Every structure is written in C-alpha cells, then in structure tokens.
C-alpha cells in the first residue's frame, strides 16, 4: 500500500507553458496527475515555482519543481513507507519537507502533483472511484451523490482575453435542467448561438476565443457582454432556464484605492476610476437588470472593507471569494468572521495539497457557505476536479467553455460519473446549498 516509485516530468498546459506532471507507482499500478496554472493569481496563493531562466520558455520553465519531486519529495515519500490511503499523513510529510507557509521552497506545483497522484493511488488501492475516495477522506455524505451545475465561461475579458472589457469572466449555468447531461447540452447550445451572434454583430474575429474557451469580442462594458449573452439564451430557447454569473477579477484593475475599468488602455483617466460605492452601485444595477446568480471577486484581494460593505448591502446574489481567500483556511476564517462573502472558490493549486483543499471546503461548508470548485486558466487534460466536486458534494463547478479539450475533459468526466451512478441528484437551482441538499 506504499509508494515504490515517484517520477516527475514537465508537460505543457493549455497556454503552451510548461507545468508539472507526477507519476506515483504502487503495487496497483502507476497513477498520474498534472498541475494547472493561473494567470490572474492572488498574492496570497501558495507559490508556483518557476525557473526564471529567461533563455527557456520566457522564464516560465518548471525544471526546478520537477527536480524537487524527483530528488527530494519522491525519495522521501518512498522511504517513509506511508500508506497511499492515508492522504493526510502523506500531505503532512510533503509540507514538512517544504517547511514554509506558502510552499515557496519546493513549490506548490511540485507538492500538489505528488498529492494528487497519491490520491489516485489511494482510490485504486481501495478499489473505488476517485470521487468515492475523496468523499471518504472528507467525510462527505455519499447517498446520494450530487452532480454540480456547470458554470461555463462563455465570454472572456480581463486578463484572459484581448480587447477592452475589464471584467474577466461571464458564465452561464443551466440551473433549470433535470440532469448534468441536460445542463451541458443547454449550455453548449447557448454557447454556439453566442458565438454566431458575436461574429454577426462584431465581425468574424469576435468568434476567436480567450484562455478558457469563451468568445472574446472587443467589448467595453459589462452591459454589452450581458446583453449579448441574454440574447443568446433567448435565441437558444432557454430564457429563464439558463442563468448568468460574473467573475470581475477586480484585483487586476484596483489602483490607488479605486477601480479602473479602463485599465487596459494606456490613456486611462484617474478621474474616471470608481470608488467602492460607485462600483457597488454598478453591481446592484447589473443584478437588477440581468439574471445573475453570483458575482466573483467584486473587489480586490486585500480590500476587506469593500467586501464587507458590499456583502452587507444585500446585493441579491451569491458573493464568491477567490483572490480574497485563495483557498487558505486562515483567510477563509477571517472572511467568515467578518461576513465578507458567502461562497468559496475552491482551487487546489492555491493551497497545494489534497488534504488542505478538503479542509478549506469543510470549513466553508460548515459555515453555511457555498463551495464553487474551479479550474485554472492554464489548464490540462487532468480531470481531478470533476471527481473532487462530486466527492465533496458542493453542487457547483466552473471549468470554462464547452470547447477546448482541457475544459471539456472535466465535463466529459462528469458525464461518465453521472452515467455510472445512475441514482444521483443534479444540484440545479439549489446549487448554492451544496452538501445540504
């Protein structure tokens, strides 16, 4: 039940940038994991170790992280003879070998690769699917399992696309569908209508896609984006059945205590930057006008006062914390105590091990928060988060548009899981309730 061999190599993510792949071998076989990477990363995330060698991959190589797996983490794990089913003990060892609060010595990408591969090995050792093993590790109810609402990023802006649109993601979620399979179908149909409408209204280049597969027309305002999505939903025949969500990713346009919605322009005028109250009013206007169900990162990662004020304003939709908390239990505790949000965006590589990811989810769920399991903009074909969202029973996931294989891989895995389970719940309109379903 222990690890006999660990091997790491670099492979490429969806941006054509190197990332870490790890293989763990036991008597049951060899189990593989690939680590994703973010673009709009929060400063409080665990450290993704890059080589900073400008002669290769523009400094974004991961040879140091790969070496740390092969020369340090792997040999120590083999020597430990820890059982692969004891995820917490394995992750504790990995963290001890690193010895820093943010995994900056060996790299969160190195550590997470080993942790994920071990989780897969643990599931195989028990002879169960990965989602069942995760449910066991987290103590989550399994009867019945819950399939999540897929929130698909169908229109890209911010750091994920060119153009002037400041807000990063505009997502759709088929909350009125009767199954996960039907939700993917509806979302896919809306996406294809959206792509056609974007090209018709803004020219053929508007059909080009951003990092997460969503169309990226050269829009300037949220209203333009939302109007286009609303029209697409209506044209596809799902008005009232498919809802919309937004990720502002506001840390990227926070400057000198204000919010610059023209941050992509070299001619941005500081006189036009918005105060907290002005941006709050804008969000309220959008919620009132459009069928929005959640807002992610409405304010910057350390602008705690604005988060508290905004949440207290009864905005009328779920408030999702990503950069504010970075899947870090310490920051999650603070956000819960200060009533800054009501939903955790769960990203494994922000914290760096499977065990800490499960701890973060548990803390949020026990506080009555929702938990939105998330991919990263630099993704891979690894489908771990599909099993994660089912194992944790959170009821909601975002993994990009229904296009590009690194995004669709997660949805395809969830289709397989739903078929395999047969008797399960689709979270639907109760997606925010997660494990309480």
pLDDT over threshold 90, residue 43: no
Same domain, residue pair 102 and 187: no
Shared domain check, 91 and 152: no
**Amino acid 53: pLDDT:** 97
My answer on whether 10 and 151 are in the same domain is no
The residue range of the domain holding 96 is 5-127
The average confidence (pLDDT) of the chain is 96
Is residue 137 in a domain? no
Is there a single domain that holds both residue 243 and residue 297?
Answer: yes
In terms of domains, do 198 and 314 share one? yes
| Residue 179 and residue 300 share a domain | yes
* Same-domain status, 183 and 91: no
> When comparing pLDDT for 329 and 164, which is higher?
329
- Mean predicted confidence (pLDDT) in 156-170: 84
Whether residue 398 is annotated as binding a ligand: the answer is yes
247 among annotated binding-site residues:
yes
The answer to whether 340 is a known ligand-binding residue is no
Domain finish residue from 78, 98, 127? 127
Residue at 325 is within a domain:
yes
- Buried b vs exposed e over 210-249: b needs ≥16 C-beta within 10 Å? bbbbbbbbebbebebbbebbbebbeebebeebbbbbbbbb
In a domain, 134, yes or no: no
Q: Is the pLDDT of residue 161 over 80?
A: no
Answer yes or no: is 374 a known binding residue: yes
Residue 352 lies in a domain: yes
Q: What is the mean pLDDT of residues 281-297?
A: 97
pLDDT confidence bin for 39, thresholds 50/70/90: confident
Residue 362: inside a domain, yes or no?
yes
Task: Indicate whether 246 and 383 sit together in one domain.
Answer: yes
Label the pairing between strands 292-296 and 243-247: parallel
- Domain limit, last residue, from 127, 159, 181: 127
Note the pLDDT of residue 258.
97
At 436, the pLDDT band (50, 70, 90 cuts) reads: confident
Tell me: do 168 and 223 sit in the same domain: yes
Number of domains in the chain: 2
220 is an annotated ligand-binding site residue: no
Instruction: Of 72-86, 156-170, 371-385, give the lowest mean pLDDT range.
Output: 156-170
- Residue partners of 77: CB distance under 8 A and separation at least 6: 3, 6, 24, 90, 93, 94, 114, 118
Summarize pLDDT for 199-247 with one digit per residue, the tens. Answer: 999 999 888 888 899 999 989 899 999 999 999 999 999 999 999 999 9
pLDDT above 90 (res 259): yes
**Pair (122, 152) in one structural domain:** no
What single-letter DSSP state applies at residue 245?
A: E
Label residues 404-428 b or e (16+ Cβ within 10 Å = b): bebbbbbbebbbebbeebeebbbbb
Average pLDDT over residues 170-181: 98
Give the mean model confidence (pLDDT) for residues 328-355: 97
Provide the pLDDT for residue 160. Answer: 64
What is the reported pLDDT for 295? 98
Residue 182 has pLDDT above 70, yes or no: yes
Give the per-residue pLDDT at 5.
98
- The catalytic site residues sit at 212, 347
Percent of the chain with pLDDT over 70: 99
Q: What phi, psi does 122 have (nearest 5°)?
A: -65, -40
Q: Which of 127, 157, 178 finishes a domain? A: 127
Say which DSSP state 253 is in. Answer: G
Residue 346 falls inside a structural domain: yes
Check the annotation: does 192 bind a ligand.
Answer: no
User: Residue 63 domain-assigned?
Assistant: yes
Please tell me the predicted confidence (pLDDT) of residue 214: 94
Give residue 334's pLDDT band: very low, low, confident or very high (50, 70, 90): very high
Q: Read out DSSP for 70-84?
A: IIIIHHHHHHHT-BT
> Is position 135 within any domain?
no
Q: What is the b/e burial string over 162-190, where b = at least 16 CB atoms within 10 angstroms of the residue's CB?
A: ebebbbbbbbbbbbbbebbbebbebbbbb
CATH number at residue 281: 3.20.20.120
Q: Is the pLDDT of residue 40 over 70?
A: no
| pTM to 2 decimal places | 0.96
DSSP state of 59: G
Mean pLDDT of 358-374: 97
32 SS3 class: strand
User: Cis before residue 295, ω within 30 degrees of 0?
Assistant: no
Statement to judge: residues 209 and 312 lie in one domain: yes
* CATH code, domain with 33: 3.30.390.10
pLDDT at 218: 87
Amino acid 265: pLDDT: 87
Q: What mean pLDDT do residues 149-169 have?
A: 88
Average pLDDT of 293-321?
A: 96
Note whether 67 and 195 are same-domain residues: no
């Amino acid at each position: 039940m222990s690890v006999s061999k660990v091997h790491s190599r670099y492979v490429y993510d969806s941006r054509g940038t190197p990332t870490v792949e790890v293989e763990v071998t036991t008597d049951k076989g060899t189990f593989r994991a690939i680590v994703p990477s973010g673009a709009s990363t929060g400063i409080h995330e665990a450290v993704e170790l890059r080589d900073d060698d400008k002669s290769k991959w523009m400094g974004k190589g991961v040879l140091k992280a790969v070496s740390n797996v092969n020369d340090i983490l792997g040999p120590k794990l083999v020597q430990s003879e820890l059982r692969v089913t004891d995820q917490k003990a394995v992750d504790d060892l990995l963290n001890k070998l690193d010895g820093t609060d943010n995994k900056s010595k060996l790299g969160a990408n190195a550590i997470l690769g080993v942790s994920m591969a071990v989780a897969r090995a643990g599931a195989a050792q028990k002879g169960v699917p990965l989602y069942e093993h995760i449910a066991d590790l987290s103590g989550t109810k399994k009867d019945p399992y819950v399939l999540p609402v897929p929130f698909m990023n169908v229109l890209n802006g911010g750091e994920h696309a060119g153009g002037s649109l400041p807000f990063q993601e505009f997502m759709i979620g088929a909350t009125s569908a009767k199954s996960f399979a039907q939700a993917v179908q509806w979302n896919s149909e809306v996406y294809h209508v959206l792509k056609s409408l974007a090209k018709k209204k803004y020219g053929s280049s508007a059909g080009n896609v951003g990092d997460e597969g969503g169309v990226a027309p050269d829009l300037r305002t949220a209203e333009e984006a939302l109007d286009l999505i609303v029209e697409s939903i209506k044209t596809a025949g799902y008005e009232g059945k498919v809802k919309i969500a937004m990720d502002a990713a506001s840390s990227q346009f926070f400057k000198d205590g204000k919010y610059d919605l023209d941050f992509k322009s070299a001619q941005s005028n500081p006189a036009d930057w918005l105060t907290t109250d002005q941006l709050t009013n804008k969000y309220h206007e959008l919620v009132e006008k459009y069928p929005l169900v959640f807002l992610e990162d409405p304010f910057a990662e350390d602008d705690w006062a604005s988060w508290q004020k905004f949440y207290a304003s009864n905005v009328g939709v779920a408030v999702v914390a990503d950069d504010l908390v970075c899947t870090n239990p310490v920051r999650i505790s603070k956000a819960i105590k200060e009533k800054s949000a009501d939903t955790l965006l769960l990203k494994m590589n922000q914290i760096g091990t499977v065990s800490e990811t499960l701890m973060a989810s548990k803390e949020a769920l026990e506080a009555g928060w929702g938990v939105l399991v998330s991919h990263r903009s630099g993704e891979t074909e690894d489908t771990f988060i599909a099993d994660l969202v089912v194992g944790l029973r959170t009821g909601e996931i975002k993994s990009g548009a229904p296009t590009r294989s690194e995004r669709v891989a997660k949805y395809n895995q969830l289709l397989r899981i739903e078929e395999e389970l047969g008797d399960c719940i689709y979270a639907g309109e109760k997606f925010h309730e997660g494990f309480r379903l």
